Chain A
Amino acid sequence: MPAVHTYTPARPKVALFVTCLVDMFRPGVGFAAVKLLEQAGYSVEVPPTQTCCGQPAFNSGDRLTTKDIARQVIDAFEDYPYVVGPSGSCIGMLHHYPELFADEPAWQQRAEKLATRAWELTSFLQDVAQFQGIDAQFDGTVTYHDSCSGLRELGVKQQPRTLLGQVKGLELKEMEESETCCGFGGTFCVKYPDISNRMVSNKTRFIKDSGANTLLGGDLGCLLNMAGKLKREGIDVQVRHVAEVLADACHQPAIGDAEV
């Protein structure tokens, strides 16, 4: 009998773009993504030469470094029919690659090819895989934060909500201003910490007022920011990546919660 993760022609291949934050902070989100993609009928591979999407350099104005990293990502991922990542922000970055290579047509072509194949996890499951087989139970009320890049660069809005609608026991309570930025913004939160703090404070108020006991989202950066603020304010709301709930992987402590 073949092992679960070996390639068979019947299962199309997906390359998982793990993202730095999932790799370093919350590997459970990566495994939840793998589980969901396998449930949806795909064979998941994790290209070992991946590191980061290059966004810190891109948004700091360092074009040369961004291009170096973009080339590395293109090399690692371009042979796969799909590239999927549990982050709208990092996948959004892959969609920016073509504009980096305006004066290098060969690379631009490769970048464009990669961008058309790169999908945020929930939009891949919903829009490409048209996955109906969510097999999860979650007894609680959740509220959903729409992370900016996913929402405005990739149009991720209904996809996570439709998928969450298949989770048994789950009730969604929308918060006010779910589309307003949480104040993370990559390096913004340490470059302008007090402005970032005001933004995340507004956010935690809306989260608390929603009455939900769990906050979900699709980007770990935003979730670390909001979880850290909720903890500091002593607000009793658990924070999880949406993939954990969809993959029925909530046995692990929530973000910022103590391990038992």
Chain B
Amino acid sequence: MEIHSPEFKANARIALHDASLQKALGNLRDGFPRKRAIAVSRLPEFEQLRDQARDLKNHILSHLDLYLETFERNCTANGGQVHWAADAEQARQQILDICRSVGAKTVTKGKSMISEEINLNDYLEQHGVQPVETDLGEYILQLRHDHPSHIIAPAIHLNLEDVSDAFHEHHPKYGFTERTEDAAELMAEARTVMRKHFVAADVGITGANFLVAETGSSIIVTNEGNGDLTQTLPKVHIVITSIEKVVPTLEDMSLFLRLLARSATGQEFSVYNTLSTGPRRSTDQDGPEQYHVILLDNGRSDMLGSEFQDMLRCIRCSACMNHCPVYGSVGGHAYGWVYPGPMGSVLTPQLIGVDQAGHLPNASTFCGKCESVCPVRIPLPKLMRHWREREFERHLTPSTVRQGLWGWAAFAKRPTLYRWMSRSANFLLRRLARNGRISKLPLATGWTDWRDMPAPQQGTFMDQWKKRQQSEQQQGGLL
């Protein structure tokens, strides 16, 4: 996917004026957060589970090599094949090689953000392999040549009419010539079209929500069942996933599943939780003949031991973006790459460079809502601040901000000068005010273009306090 993160400001402005997007975002804000709150209120030990999950993830990250090698050993023992990919290019090549080895023409795909991260669809198409997305949201996006704007609800930026338009444009060749805006009819239409693809596919590619070291299994969590058909029907199943997804045991996996569904959609459990453990055995009725797991690093091991390590705890539930007032205002596309919202604002600078993604960690009020709902307690505002520090050190912070900061600091570090500045600003702002407010302030148009600046009361606190102290001392002296 092309990188548009440097244009965050312009993208955000367009998003704010997109009536259809704003309608869709309104639905999101009313939906997921409310459902999560209900689900959390029904599980008294939810907060303790968050602590456990944080601690367990920290343990895993400090022994990541051990658990990944255990996973590889057990997966291989089951007849699976593990491929280590240092970067996106290597992962794409490994997947293409597997597809070519079986002469694949079409591949079905379950929902996978890692496949977005490595830009897999374009690559496969360019090399003569046709990918077909089978998650309904992803399928709609593929028809529209669009990209996900959310990590679990990829088409959240669209409304029903957009889906109708897309189907009406692309489905007549399957016999669906009538345009419908009935959700159930649209679903049935998608299902019929999808069946053909499921049966025809040579390879099925899915992501993995977790990898289980003790059994060598991968698990996908879906609500549509598309992932199951993707990974069981074709001859070859490829799992594309990243190194931080490994957990030690099935027991540990269940802890994360309990947190994941509740944090994501407010469900107690997702509808389909499907484990894959190697290829079809001789006694199995169905399943793929080959089972491959691509373990992608792509910059993640650089985060180990760094101030950003906590980010590797992320289980991709999307609670942070569902609750973020900035995401809720501009949607996911404004962030300009694969991962939006608070988790994206921390992860994206690591994956594409902070020089490209510099806006993202800055576009936050640090309201802290994301951290307060994160199931693995990632201190997202703190990590965004660390990116701001990196930007400041590398002189990537805009010069206006640097100069403003330098000027302000020159006063803030000198109390006497600061008193004078505060007094002068108080005086000047009062001069500019009419009826208790200022409607236009030349150096602060970012403020006054949208709202009035309330005028200060007369005289600074420090000056008035000093006077009060002096007069009390005088009175005290007289008495």
Contacts known (A148-B368, A194-B12); A25 close to B456, Cβ less than 8 A: yes
Q: Which residue of B lies closest to A21 (CB)?
A: B456
Is the beta-carbon distance between A190 and B451 smaller than 8 angstroms? Answer: no
Contacts of A231 in B (CB 8 A): 437, 451-452, 454
A57 to B227, CA, bound (A): 48
Q: Please report the number of residue pairs spanning A and B whose Cβ atoms sit closer than 8 angstroms.
A: 208
Contact for B437 among A48, A198, A228, CB less than 8 A: A228
Q: Which residue of A lies closest to B12 (CB)?
A: A195
Query: Chain A interface: which of B165-173, B270-278, B285-293, B389-397?
Result: B389-397
Contact for A68 among B365, B372, B413, B452, CB less than 8 A: B413
Is the beta-carbon distance between A31 and B461 smaller than 8 angstroms? Answer: yes
Contacts of A54 in B (CB 8 A): 412
Q: Which residue of A lies closest to B368 (CB)?
A: A152
Is the beta-carbon distance between A152 and B325 smaller than 8 angstroms? Answer: no
Q: Mark B424-453, 1 if CB is under 8 A from A, else 0.
A: 011000000001110100001011011111
Is the beta-carbon distance between B388 and A61 smaller than 8 angstroms? Answer: yes
The reply to whether the CB of B411 lies closer than 8 angstroms to some CB of chain A is: yes
Contacts of A20 in B (CB 8 A): 422
Contacts known (A72-B413, A198-B329); A185 close to B367, Cβ less than 8 A: yes
Query: Chain A interface: which of B58-66, B254-262, B470-478?
Result: B470-478
The reply to whether the CB of A12 lies closer than 8 angstroms to some CB of chain B is: no
Contacts known (A24-B456, A231-B437); A59 close to B388, Cβ less than 8 A: yes
Is the beta-carbon distance between A193 and B450 smaller than 8 angstroms? Answer: yes
Is the beta-carbon distance between A195 and B330 smaller than 8 angstroms? Answer: yes
Q: Mark B363-393, 1 if CB is under 8 A from A, else 0.
A: 1111111011000000000000101111111
Question: Looking at chain B's contact residues, is the secondary structure mostly helix, strand, loop, or mixed?
Answer: helix
**Interface size, B (range):** 35 or more
Is the beta-carbon distance between B365 and A185 smaller than 8 angstroms? Answer: yes
Min distance, Cβ A202 to any Cβ of chain B, angstroms:
8
A86 to B144, CA, bound (A): 52
Min distance, Cβ B401 to any Cβ of chain A, angstroms:
6
Q: Mark A181-210, 1 if CB is under 8 A from B, else 0.
A: 101111111111111111110100000000
Is the beta-carbon distance between A228 and B363 smaller than 8 angstroms? Answer: no
The reply to whether the CB of B464 lies closer than 8 angstroms to some CB of chain A is: yes
Contacts of B142 in A (CB 8 A): none
Is the beta-carbon distance between B325 and A180 smaller than 8 angstroms? Answer: yes
A259 to B473, CA, bound (A): 30
Query: Chain B interface: which of A113-121, A130-138, A163-171, A248-256?
Result: A248-256
A24-B422, A61-B397 known; 7 new pairs, CB 8 Å cut-off, are A23-B460, A48-B462, A49-B415, A51-B415, A62-B392, A72-B415, A199-B325
Which 6 pairs between the two chains have the least Cβ-Cβ distance?
A185-B365, A61-B388, A61-B392, A190-B446, A256-B454, A181-B367
Q: Can you list 14 residue pairs at the A/B interface with Cβ under 8 Å?
A: A5-B469, A25-B457, A27-B457, A52-B418, A61-B385, A61-B393, A149-B368, A183-B325, A186-B365, A195-B330, A200-B451, A225-B451, A231-B452, A232-B451
B interface list, Cβ under 8 A from A: 9, 12-13, 16, 325-326, 329-330, 362-369, 371-372, 385, 387-393, 397, 401, 405, 408-409, 411-415, 418, 422, 425-426, 435-437, 439, 444, 446-447, 449-457, 459-462, 464-466, 469, 472-473, 475-476, 479
